[in-house]
Structure 1
Amino acid sequence: MANKYDGLARIIIQNVGGKSNVISLTHCVTRLRFKLKDENKANTEILKKTDGIVTVMKSGGQYQVVIGNHVPDVFEVVNKIGGFSSLENENNDSKEKMNFGSSLIDIISGIFAPTLGVLAATGMIKGILALLVYFNVLSSDGGTYQLLYTVSDGFFHYLPIMLGYSAAKKFKVNLFTGLALGGALMYMDDVLKLASMTPIATYFAGTDFVQNVYAKFLGIPILLPASGYASSVIPIILAVWMASKIEKMWKKIVPDVVKTFLVPMLTLAIATPLTFLIIGPIASLLTSVITVATNGIYNFSPIIAGVFLGALWQVLVIFGLHWGVVPIAMVNLSTLGYDPILSLIFAASFAQTAVVLAIIFKTKDKKLKSIAIPAFISGIFGVTEPAIYGVTLPKKKPFFISCIAAAIGGAIIGGLKINGYIIGGLGVFGIPSYINDKTNDITGMLWMLFALAISMIIAFILTMITYKDDKEDELKDEDKTVGVTKGIIASPLKGDIKELSEVNDEAFSNSALGKGVAIIPSEGKLISPADGVLKTIFPTGHAVGIKTDFGAEILIHIGMDTVKLNGKYFTKKIKQGEHVKKGQVLIEFDLEALKREGYSMITPIIITNSSEYLDLIYETNKKIDFGENLITLL
C-alpha cells in the first residue's frame, strides 16, 4: 500500500547518490543522518528545494537531511524503499576515514540517539511524580508512586545495559554481547549493594577518584568506583568497543560450525575480566576527570558559562555538534546526582520560539506565516530545527536575537545555579527536570521558569522592534494574487489532480524538469491550457511542449512510457509551430486501450521554466474539468 512519503523518500534516495552511495542511515529527532561513500555525488541543492525537506547539513562525517517532527515516518519509508537496514553489514569494511572530532560525534550520536526518546520519557514520568508528591496528590510511600518510579528510575539506573545494546549496534558486535557486558557491570554493582560488602582496600581515598576493592581475580584486585557502575556511560561504551575487536579476532579463527556459541563465549571470557580489571577503572577515572573539569569551568564562573553555552547552543544544533554535551550531562547525573551543564542551554529553544512568535505577529507574508506557525508549535516542544532553518536563519537578524536572548537566559540560570536532576523531555516537557526528585523540592523549577520568561520576553520584544519583511514579503495579499500574477494555466485534461511526487518517474517526481502537477485523465482528449505556440509535438503524439503568450513554458506528457507505442492509440490534431488557442484540441487518445495495454495514465503537466516564477499555486487531490484553472503563476 502506497505511503504519502513514498515520493519524498524516492527523491531523497536518488539525490544522496542512490543506494550504492549510502554506508548507513539513522535518524534523530528531526534529521535523517546518512553516512555516504562520496558526498560529492549528492544533489544538495535539489534536496534543499524539495518540499518536505527543511534543509541539508554536512557535519560530523554525516550527511544530514533535516525533515522535521515527522522524521520517524520518513525514515521508515526511506529505509524500506532503499533497503538500508542491511547496509551496516554490507559496508562493514568501508575504509571511509573521518577526523577525530567527526568520529567522536558520529559515535556519540549513534550510541545515544536510540536511547534518548525513552530516557526522556522516563525522566518526564519522574518529574511528574515529583510534582504529584509536592502537591500531595500522591504519597512517595504509596504503591502507585512506587510502581511508576520503578520504570522512571529503572531505565537510568540500568543505563549500562541499554547502552550496551546501542553500542553493540554501533561497533557492529553481537548485540547480546553488548547486553551481557552491561548486565555484568550492573550485576556486580547490585550484588555488592545487596550484600552490603565492606571494601578490603581503598585507593585514592579523600579525592574525587576513589576506587574500592571488594575481591580479586586470579590475585589481581578488582577496582570498582565508589559510586558503582549504575547509570554510568563511559565504562560500557569502552567495554563494547574492546569486545568488538576481540570478537572480530575470534570470528577469523573459530570454525563456522561452532561460531554461533563459541565466538560469544570466548569474547565474553576475555572481555569481562578486561572490563573489570582495566577498562572499568580507567573509564571511571576518566569519568571523574570529566566531572571535575566541566564543573571546575562551571564553578569558575557559572554566569560566563551560561552566556557562552546559551549563545552557542543553537549553532551547535545546526551542525549536530550538540551531541558532544549529552554524555557530560549523563556523567554528572551518574556521579553527582545532578547536572548544571544542560541547564545552561535550556532557555535557547524558548528564545528561538519567542522570536518566531514575534515574526508571526509582524509579517504580512502568508507563505512565511504558514511556515512560522507550525515552527512555533514545534519549538514549544523543544524541536527548533523548523524554526531555525525555515524562519530565523534565512532572515539572519532574528537568529542572532535568539542567540542573544538565550545567552541572557543562560547567564540567569548560571547565576542562580539551577541544576537538572533527570534527562527529561524537550521544551515544556523538560521543565519538571529541575525538580529535585530526591527531596521533591520545586524551587529550581520555579527559578527556571523565571529565567525562561526573561529570555522569551527579551527575544520577543527585540524581534518586534527590529523585524521587517523583505521588500518581496511586503507585498499585500491582494498584490500577490492579482498584481504579481503572471498567468493562469487551465487544465488540459479532465480527471483527478495529483502531486507530481506520485509520478513513478524520477525526472518528473523530483521536479528536476520543473514544478507542476499531474492529472489522471478520465477522458481521452488533450486541449491547450493557454494561448501560445506549440513548440514541440512528438511524432508519437504522447507529449507536447507549449510556450504561452505570457511566457510560461509547458510540457505535458500523456501517461508513463507511452512513447514505446510509437504513436499507437494517439491522434494528433495540430502541427508543430502553430499558434493555439486555450481550449483547442491538441491530441486525442484511446484511454481504455492504453489502460488495457497496462500503461499508467498519470500525466505530468510541468512548467519547465518554473524557476523564473516566485511561486506556483495549485490544489491537488480533487477532480477537475477541461479548461478549469489548474495552476496560477506568481
Structure 2
Amino acid sequence: MAEENKQIAEQLIEAVGGLENIESVAHCATRLRIMVTDKEKIDQGKVEELDKVKGAFYNAGQFQVIFGTGTVNKIHTEIIGLGAPESSSSEQKKDAAQKGNKIQRLLRTFGDIFVPIIPVLVATGLFMGLRGLLTQEEILAIFGMTPADISENFLLYTQVLTDTAFAFLPALIAWSAFRVFGGSPVIGIVLGLMLVNPALPNAYAVGSGDADPLYILGFIPVIGYQGSVLPAFIAGFLGAKLEKWLRERIPEALDLILTPFLTLLIMITAALFVLGPIFSIVETGIMAAMNVVLELPFGLSGLIIGGLHQVIVITGVHHIFNLFEIQLLADDGFNPFNALITAGIAAQGGAALAVAVKTKSKKLKALAFPSSISAFLGITEPAIFGVNLRYIKPFVMGLAGGAAGGFFAALFNLQGNGMAVTVIPGMLLYIYDFLPFVLYILTNVIALSVAFVLTWMFGFNDKMLDEVNQ
C-alpha cells in the first residue's frame, strides 16, 4: 500500500509540472492543495486518471486534488518525502489570497474565522439531541421513569453542556477573528467575554421583555451580546488591526502593559457604545432577508436551497452559510437550513450510487461506490468532482433529488438543533423528538431515491465514458 501511494505521488508530481513547478503542498480533510508556479504546466486530465484521485480543479491559486479522508494524508506524506515543499493550510491560504479576487478573499476569510469554531457547535447540537432523547417520555418509560423523576441537578448538568457554547459565542468569534487578522487570540477571548459579561443586561432577557437595556447618555442602548455574531466579528477584526497598529508605535519596554490595556479599553468602549448597536441592526436586517427565503410558502425554500446548495459547494464558498446557521441556532436553538442542505448532499450520493450500480467499468465502480458512501457521511466533494460533475447529467439529477428532498423538509418545517453534520451522522441532530427524526430520515430517502432513479433512467450510461475520455 505504501509503495502504491508513493507511485501515485510520483505520477502526481510529474502531472503538475514537476517539483520545480510546486511552491508548496498542504491538505485538508479530503483535498491535497498544491500551490504551483505556472498553472499552464498542469495536465489536469492526467491527474484525474491517477488511481485514488476522485477529482481535481484549480481555484484561486491552488490546484486541489480530491483523494478523500485518510488517503489524502498518506499521499501528502509521500509527496513531501519526495522533496515537495510543505506548508500549513493557513500559510497556503495567505499565499492563495494574493492570487484571489476581492470576493474570493472575503468569502475565504469568513471560512477561516467560522470553520474552526464549528466542531464545538456540532458537539453542542449533539448534546441537545441526546438531552432531548433522554428526556422523552417514551425513552424514560423503558426504564420505568417519568419526566418528574429527572432530578433538577441532572437537568442543570445537561444545561451546562447545551448552553455554554452559545452563551459565550462572541468570545469564540472574537478569538478566531483575532487569530485570522494577526492579533493576540487571548485578547480576542477577553474582548468577546466582555461582550457577554453578566453585569450587562442579557440579550435574550431584553429580547423577551424580561430586562431593559442600559442607556448611556440617555439614548445609546447597551446590552450583552449573547448569541450575536456580527458585532463580535467586527470587534475582533478592528481589535486585531488596532493591536497591530499599537505594537508598531509603543516602545518595547511598555508594550506588554500598554498594548493589551489600550486595545481592550478602546475596543470594548467602541463595541458596546457604537459597533454593537449599529451592527446588531445590520445583523437583524441580514437575518430577516435570509429568513424571507427560508419562509417562502409551499416548500419553495426547500426547492431553492435543497436544489442549489451543491452548486455553491462547487465554488468552495459554501462556508459563508456558517454565519447564517450559527445565528439561527443562537436565536432559538433550531436550524431549518440544515434540513434543506442535507437533502442536496444525500442526493449527490444517490446519483453517484446509481452510476456505481449501472456502470460496467470496474474503475468507475471502484471510484463511485466509495464516493457515494462519503456523501452519505456528509462529504460530497468526491461524489461531485470524481463522478457526477465529470459526466454532468448525474450532477443535474442530484440537484433535482436535492430539490425534492428539500421541498419535503420545507413543507413540514423540519429543523435540526445543530449544524455541520448531515445525512447519516446528521440524524443525531433530530433525535430530540420522534417526529423530526422520522421526517429527517424521509427527507434523505426522498432525495437519495429521486436522484438515484433519475440518474439510472436519464443521467448515465457507459457511452459517456468514451465521450469524457476523448
TM-score, scaled relative to structure 1: 0.62
Partner Cα separation in structure 1 for residue 211 and residue 31 of structure 2: 41
Deviation, 1:259, is 2.8
Partner Cα separation in structure 2 for residue 87 and residue 402 of structure 1: 32
Matched with 1:160 is: 170
SS for the counterpart of 1:394 is coil
Pick the structure with more helix per residue.
2
Q: Does 1:102 align with 2:101?
A: no
> 1:197-596 maps to which residues of 2 (within 5 A)?
213-214=213-214, 216=216, 219=217, 223-224=221-222, 228-301=224-297, 303-423=299-419, 425-434=421-430, 440-466=432-458, 469-471=461-463
Q: Does 1:43 align with 2:45?
A: no
Q: Does 1:84 align with 2:83?
A: no
Q: Judging changes above 3 Å, is the alpha-carbon distance between structure 1 residues 9 and 91 closer, same or farther for their aligned structure 2 residues?
A: farther
Partner Cα separation in structure 2 for residue 384 and residue 376 of structure 1: 8
Deviation, 1:289, is 0.6
Deviation, 1:142, is 6.3
Partner Cα separation in structure 2 for residue 214 and residue 72 of structure 1: 53
Assess if the C-alpha contact under 8 Å between 1:418 and 1:434 holds in 2: no
Q: Does 1:182 align with 2:192?
A: yes
Deviation, 1:110, is 0.8
Deviation, 1:83, is 4.6
Moved more, 122-131 or 404-413: 122-131
Assess if the C-alpha contact under 8 Å between 1:302 and 1:417 holds in 2: no
Matched with 1:577 is: none
Partner Cα separation in structure 2 for residue 70 and residue 51 of structure 1: 15
Deviation, 1:101, is 2.3
Partner Cα separation in structure 2 for residue 349 and residue 197 of structure 1: 34
Deviation, 1:243, is 1.1
Assess if the C-alpha contact under 8 Å between 2:26 and 2:89 holds in 1: no
Partner Cα separation in structure 2 for residue 50 and residue 198 of structure 1: 58
SS for the counterpart of 1:56 is strand
- Offset from partner CA, 1:106-158 (integer Å, 9 cap, x none): 11111122222332233223213322322434966465665455234322332
Assess if the C-alpha contact under 8 Å between 1:61 and 1:106 holds in 2: no
Partner Cα separation in structure 2 for residue 158 and residue 175 of structure 1: 15
Letter in 1 for 2:214: Y
Q: Judging changes above 3 Å, is the alpha-carbon distance between structure 1 residues 197 and 427 closer, same or farther for their aligned structure 2 residues?
A: closer
Letter in 2 for 1:282: I
Q: Does 1:173 align with 2:173?
A: no
Assess if the C-alpha contact under 8 Å between 2:338 and 2:422 holds in 1: no
Matched with 1:593 is: none
Q: Judging changes above 3 Å, is the alpha-carbon distance between structure 1 residues 407 and 162 closer, same or farther for their aligned structure 2 residues?
A: same
Partner Cα separation in structure 1 for residue 311 and residue 392 of structure 2: 12
Assess if the C-alpha contact under 8 Å between 1:181 and 1:272 holds in 2: yes
Letter in 2 for 1:327: L
Partner Cα separation in structure 2 for residue 461 and residue 90 of structure 1: 40
Partner Cα separation in structure 1 for residue 416 and residue 204 of structure 2: 31
Moved more, 76-85 or 296-305: 76-85
- Offset from partner CA, 1:205-240 (integer Å, 9 cap, x none): 99xxx9953264xx5866345xx4223221221111
Match of 2:117 among 97, 115, 118: 115
Partner Cα separation in structure 2 for residue 4 and residue 256 of structure 1: 54
Deviation, 1:82, is 3.6
Assess if the C-alpha contact under 8 Å between 1:383 and 1:427 holds in 2: no
SS for the counterpart of 2:98 is coil
* Residue ranges of structure 1 left out of the alignment (5+ in a row): 475-612, 615-634
Deviation, 1:21, is 4.2
Letter in 2 for 1:453: V
Letter in 1 for 2:447: S
TM-score, scaled relative to structure 2: 0.81
Partner Cα separation in structure 1 for residue 3 and residue 265 of structure 2: 47
Q: Judging changes above 3 Å, is the alpha-carbon distance between structure 1 residues 307 and 186 closer, same or farther for their aligned structure 2 residues?
A: same
Assess if the C-alpha contact under 8 Å between 1:123 and 1:424 holds in 2: no
Q: Judging changes above 3 Å, is the alpha-carbon distance between structure 1 residues 53 and 460 closer, same or farther for their aligned structure 2 residues?
A: closer
Partner Cα separation in structure 1 for residue 204 and residue 403 of structure 2: 48
Partner Cα separation in structure 1 for residue 47 and residue 221 of structure 2: 52
Q: Judging changes above 3 Å, is the alpha-carbon distance between structure 1 residues 181 and 60 closer, same or farther for their aligned structure 2 residues?
A: farther
Q: Judging changes above 3 Å, is the alpha-carbon distance between structure 1 residues 73 and 370 closer, same or farther for their aligned structure 2 residues?
A: same
Q: Judging changes above 3 Å, is the alpha-carbon distance between structure 1 residues 112 and 254 closer, same or farther for their aligned structure 2 residues?
A: same
Partner Cα separation in structure 2 for residue 62 and residue 251 of structure 1: 33
Deviation, 1:353, is 1.7
Partner Cα separation in structure 2 for residue 472 and residue 98 of structure 1: 34
Partner Cα separation in structure 2 for residue 151 and residue 79 of structure 1: 41
Assess if the C-alpha contact under 8 Å between 1:105 and 1:321 holds in 2: yes
Assess if the C-alpha contact under 8 Å between 2:22 and 2:37 holds in 1: no
SS for the counterpart of 2:213 is strand
Q: Judging changes above 3 Å, is the alpha-carbon distance between structure 1 residues 141 and 230 closer, same or farther for their aligned structure 2 residues?
A: farther
Deviation, 1:463, is 2.7
Letter in 1 for 2:168: Y
Partner Cα separation in structure 2 for residue 59 and residue 326 of structure 1: 21
Matched with 1:69 is: 69
Q: Judging changes above 3 Å, is the alpha-carbon distance between structure 1 residues 300 and 274 closer, same or farther for their aligned structure 2 residues?
A: same
Q: Judging changes above 3 Å, is the alpha-carbon distance between structure 1 residues 87 and 44 closer, same or farther for their aligned structure 2 residues?
A: farther
Moved more, 230-239 or 5-14: 5-14
SS for the counterpart of 2:227 is coil
* Residue ranges of structure 2 left out of the alignment (5+ in a row): none
- Offset from partner CA, 1:597-616 (integer Å, 9 cap, x none): xxxxxxxxxxxxxxxx99xx
Name the count of aligned residue pairs.
Answer: 453
Letter in 2 for 1:213: P
- Offset from partner CA, 1:444-495 (integer Å, 9 cap, x none): 3322322222222222222333355424869xxxxxxxxxxxxxxxxxxxxx
Same amino acid, percent of matched pairs: 27
Q: What RMSD over aligned residues (CA atoms) do the two structures have, in Å?
A: 4.1
Assess if the C-alpha contact under 8 Å between 1:123 and 1:425 holds in 2: no
Q: Judging changes above 3 Å, is the alpha-carbon distance between structure 1 residues 395 and 73 closer, same or farther for their aligned structure 2 residues?
A: same
Partner Cα separation in structure 2 for residue 291 and residue 232 of structure 1: 11
Q: Judging changes above 3 Å, is the alpha-carbon distance between structure 1 residues 303 and 472 closer, same or farther for their aligned structure 2 residues?
A: closer
Partner Cα separation in structure 2 for residue 413 and residue 334 of structure 1: 21
Partner Cα separation in structure 1 for residue 238 and residue 342 of structure 2: 35
